[in-house]
Structure 1
Amino acid sequence: MSARTVSYDFTGRTLFLTGAGGGIPAAIAKLFADSGANLFLTDLRSDSLAALADTLNDKTSFETHPVNVSNPKEVTAAAKACKERFGEIDYVVTGAGLYEDGTVDDMPDEVWRRGIAVNLDGVFHTVRAALPHMPNGGAIVNIASMAGHRGSFGHAPYSAAKGAVLSLNRSLAQEVACRNIRCNAISPGLIDTPMVRGLMQELGGEMLNMTPLGRLGTPKEVAEVAAFLCSDGAAFLTAETIHVNGGLYIAS
């Protein structure tokens, strides 16, 4: 049975999205575009932004902006540019991420620092830059990971940063509640993206056997959760983490 697509109406609202060229963020961009939102799309790579732009319908109002989220000045400049182009930033989704291989015993300092800089500092920089431009009633969605809950062999900087993002999300939700801004996280599991396909070549059969639903998730299925968390349907939901992993990691 095919999954039913839920319709959202984000007409006149603006999404500020980081890492937009990645598998999950690109699906989020497309869903929000189809729901009428204005899009301010950032990514480290201009070619990824151009490829994403080519997939958006010609009625979508969007702007692309190359940004390194580990550089606070670049993120601040992007948030200001979004404000100038579209007005208030209604929704923020922090999708930028870096997933590098390497065990702790021989990991160079720069690999550790790079992973933390992108996966944790980048979230902090993005939210801090966007908040002055967000109206009361806005929403923030931080893309975390199953690795932030259970760890990940050979990916300590990534899992450590994602775990910290989960804690940051809970603290941030308390700080912005006075403005009725909601802040939630999504922890994807095995989603059919280029990052996961490499992992599946090594451990795919074993991990799918451990997944009750017996398949990879799709980027669109994560995007649907992001849209829900930004919608009025989640108006009383904040400081939470939604797991999207087909039952591979079960947590309450």
Structure 2
Amino acid sequence: MASLGATLALCDINIDGLQATVDLCKGEDHLVEVADVSSSDACSNFVNSTVSSLGRLDLVFNCAGVNPTAYPLEDMTDVYFNKLVDTNLKGTFNITRAAIPHLKAGASIVNVSSIMGVSAAKHYAVYCATKWAVVGFTKAMALELGQKQIRINAVAPGYINTPTNAGVVAGEVKAQEEKVAMGRMGQPEEVADVVAFLFSDESRYMNGSIVEITGGRV
């Protein structure tokens, strides 16, 4: 989005990750703040700071999330459950709710679900629940916000080569790639390009859509 001329307001709980991201975003003076999206107050403060500093809010990308660990349900702790729900679902809710009063006709929101938000996998019950919830939330909000000419869609990525996958051993990577028709993991920019499309006028009649980005996952 920065390469397309957007001025960004970036928030994350990880200051090092934030700095690494803004260093890649050349051009305008981007706003950077540390915030925990599970906190409604933190989200409201961040959105208000964005509008105060940049003058307006046009686009919202809810991409904060916690990747899952495979657990049988009886082995899952309350701490693990709350971490996934608070970030993956409540974070999306908090930022969206805070942003709506500042959005005008033509604005667009993109949420991140997952391939596990449209298909299930054993030992990932809570993660699936949060990502299916993002799908339902997106479709319901499309009905609410569409009347204001504000669009909201979601992407559902499959196996993407991100830093959270860096610790996966080579054998597991190969096993994942064998489940993809194109025979490889996706790259982050291949998700980003779809997000940029959903923000653009080229997708102006897409609202409540869930776009799978999987390379043809078997």
Q: 2:33 — aligned with what?
A: 65
Paired with 1:181 and 1:154, the residues of 2 have a C-alpha distance of: 36
Q: Which amino acid aligns with 2:46?
A: A
Q: 2:50 — aligned with what?
A: 82
Q: Which amino acid aligns with 1:132?
A: P
Structure 1 residue 200 displacement after superposition: 5.9
Q: 1:165 — aligned with what?
A: 134
Instruction: Calculate the TM-score normalised by the size of structure 1.
Output: 0.82
Q: Which runs of 5 or more residues in structure 1 are unaligned? A: 1-31
Instruction: From the superposition, tell whether residues 239 and 200 of structure 1 become closer, same or farther in structure 2 (CA, over 3 Å).
Output: farther
Give the conservation status (yes or no) of the 8 Å contact 1:99–1:155. Answer: no
Q: How do residues 71-110 of structure 1 correspond to structure 2 at under 5 angstroms?
A: 71-101=39-69, 102-110=71-79
Q: 1:41 — aligned with what?
A: 10
SS for the counterpart of 1:54 is helix
Structure 1 residue 150 and structure 2 residue 119: aligned?
yes
Structure 1 residue 205 and structure 2 residue 169: aligned?
no
Structure 1 residue 177 and structure 2 residue 146: aligned?
yes
Structure 1 residue 157 displacement after superposition: 2.3
Structure 1 residue 107 displacement after superposition: 1.1
Q: Which runs of 5 or more residues in structure 2 are unaligned? A: none
Q: What do the CA deviations read for 1:75-132 (whole angstroms, capped 9, x no partner)?
A: 0000000010112210000000012423311111111111111100110001000111
Q: Which amino acid aligns with 1:68?
A: D
Q: 2:100 — aligned with what?
A: 131
Structure 1 residue 74 displacement after superposition: 0.2
Q: 1:235 — aligned with what?
A: 204
Paired with 1:188 and 1:91, the residues of 2 have a C-alpha distance of: 20
Instruction: From the superposition, tell whether residues 199 and 147 of structure 1 become closer, same or farther in structure 2 (CA, over 3 Å).
Output: farther
Q: Which amino acid aligns with 1:171?
A: A
Instruction: Calculate the TM-score normalised by the size of structure 2.
Output: 0.94
Q: What do the CA deviations read for 1:161-191 (whole angstroms, capped 9, x no partner)?
A: 0110001000000000111001100000011
Give the conservation status (yes or no) of the 8 Å contact 1:88–1:135. Answer: no
How many correspondences in the alignment?
A: 217
Instruction: From the superposition, tell whether residues 226 and 200 of structure 1 become closer, same or farther in structure 2 (CA, over 3 Å).
Output: farther
SS for the counterpart of 1:53 is helix
Give the conservation status (yes or no) of the 8 Å contact 2:176–2:185. Answer: no
Q: What do the CA deviations read for 1:194-246 (whole angstroms, capped 9, x no partner)?
A: 22344564533233222111111110010000000000001111110111000
Paired with 1:93 and 1:116, the residues of 2 have a C-alpha distance of: 18
Q: Give me the CA root mean square deviation.
A: 1.4
Paired with 2:164 and 2:121, the residues of 1 have a C-alpha distance of: 14
Paired with 2:169 and 2:104, the residues of 1 have a C-alpha distance of: 41
Identity %: 31
Q: Among residues 189, 194, 217, which one is paired with 1:220 in the alignment?
A: 189
Q: 1:12 — aligned with what?
A: none
